[in-house]
Homo-oligomer: A and B are copies of this chain.
Amino acid sequence: MKILLSMVALALTLSAADDLKKPLVIAEQGSFFVGGETKAVPAPPPTPGRGPGAPGDITVNQMYVQYQIPVNANPHVPVVMVHGCCLSSKTWETTPDGRMGWNEYFVRKNRPTYLADQVSRARSGFDGSKISAVKAGTLPPSELPNLLTASHQTAWSVFRFGPTFGKAFPDEQFPVEAVDELYKQMIPDLNALLPNPNPTWTNMAALAVKLKGAILIGHSESGFFPEQAAMIDPSGVKGIISIEMPCVTNLTSAQLSTLAKIPTLVMFGDHLDGVQGGFNNWPTSFASCNTFVKQVNDAGGDAQMMSLPAMGIKGNSHMLMQDKNNLQLADLILGWIDGHVESKKGVRANAKK
């Protein structure tokens, strides 16, 4: 009987794998920007052959969003994915070892899927005027942004691939044989240039409104961005998924009351205390999020901490959306969405009346 069940499970797995190789059928795809403001800038330095420049206007703080809507999207709630520090939306695409990422998997599971490059990163661009002003001598070098670039060594440690650089945990789920491809995804982080509140938060909230309701997913640096977006404008935020970050635990009761109206999932991987040296605050981050989850629930909310090792799922890194079991984790998230967001849509729609 056990063997039979195993064979059935294997057959189902193979059949699911076959499904993923079927053509992907898209009802609509494209890209657009959310937010953005006009800013006056001084004349650029003279360019050879073009003569002196003139002062003008540039657009800053806009957020680039790329999306795909599958043919069977209705009635699923759109999902917005936002990457972490020193990364771009590449995070969610093909994994370093060439497997399917969460973006395509979610589309194949009939979810309208939106990838946002954080403001000041990748295709969203950044406000370069301070760098130009320092070069022109009108600002001192100290005014340059503190540019974050994670080295290979830092990534290995912070992303928890193993106890020391180059050595993987025995049960490590990240495809470390392809780590060089992850290093290519790591790009300078200019968030130090951003005003407060971070325009990415405002733009995420505005995107959720534009989509007439969306589930916001953040990771690492952006892990708490869905909450920040909801505290700016909760009206479009139908669900929050926060992956591996420090949580804010001193929110006001008004803020907690806002968040308590939005189903929230927090997810953490394995080996939180397994890395030697360098940044090693994962146990602290995990503890802060357990506190946060309790605070939201105490305020009447529906928040859940999904600690993967506590569920028997071992070896997941910080880059768990790229880990070898990434689609299994995606299924956990999809199941949570079905049970905590989509099953309650009617209830919530009625509750508004």
A residues near B, CB below 8 A?
Answer: 23-27, 29-33, 36, 38, 41, 44-45, 49-50, 53-59, 62, 64, 66, 71, 88-90, 93-94, 98, 100-101, 104, 117, 122-126, 128-129, 131-132, 134-135, 137, 141-142, 144-154, 180-181, 183-188, 278-279, 281
Q: Which of B32, B49, B279 contacts A50 (CB 8 A)?
A: B279
Shortest distance between the CB of A54 and any CB in chain B (Å) = 7
Complex Cα gap A54–B145 (Å): 20
Contact B181 A56 (CB under 8 A): no
Copies of this protein chain in the complex: 2
Which residues from B are CB-within-8-Å of A151?
A: 41, 44, 54-58
Contact B33 A181 (CB under 8 A): yes
Most B CB within 10 A of own CB, among A23, A93, A101, A131: A131
Contact A186 B58 (CB under 8 A): yes
Shortest distance between the CB of A58 and any CB in chain B (Å) = 6
Contact B33 A29 (CB under 8 A): no
Complex Cα gap A295–B49 (Å): 25
Which residues from B are CB-within-8-Å of A27?
A: 23-24
Q: Which of B44, B50, B141 contacts A134 (CB 8 A)?
A: B141
Contact A132 B117 (CB under 8 A): no
Which 7 A-B pairs rank lowest in CB-CB distance, beginning with the nearest? Answer: A56-B151, A125-B187, A30-B94, A128-B188, A135-B144, A56-B153, A33-B184
Q: Provide a sorted-by-A list of 11 A–B residue pairs whose CB atoms are within 8 angstroms.
A: A24-B26, A31-B93, A32-B181, A54-B153, A57-B152, A117-B123, A122-B122, A122-B123, A125-B187, A126-B187, A131-B145
Which residues from B are CB-within-8-Å of A144?
A: 131, 134-135
Q: Which of B26, B38, B132 contacts A147 (CB 8 A)?
A: B132
Shortest distance between the CB of A155 and any CB in chain B (Å) = 9
Shortest distance between the CB of A214 and any CB in chain B (Å) = 19
Contact B141 A146 (CB under 8 A): no
Complex Cα gap A59–B69 (Å): 34
Contact A152 B56 (CB under 8 A): yes
Which residues from B are CB-within-8-Å of A56?
A: 151-154
Complex Cα gap A152–B90 (Å): 29
Which residues from B are CB-within-8-Å of A89?
A: 123
Which residues from B are CB-within-8-Å of A180?
A: 36, 59
> 14 additional contacts, CB 8 Å, given A41-B149, A88-B123?
A23-B27, A32-B98, A33-B185, A44-B148, A49-B281, A54-B153, A56-B153, A56-B154, A58-B150, A123-B187, A131-B147, A132-B149, A135-B141, A135-B144
Q: Which of B33, B71, B137, B152 contacts A23 (CB 8 A)?
A: B71
Complex Cα gap A44–B152 (Å): 13
Contact B90 A57 (CB under 8 A): no
Contact B94 A32 (CB under 8 A): yes
Which residues from B are CB-within-8-Å of A183?
A: 36, 38, 58-59
Which residues from B are CB-within-8-Å of A152?
A: 38, 56-59
Q: A135-B144, A135-B146 are in contact. Are A184 and B59 (CB under 8 A)?
A: yes
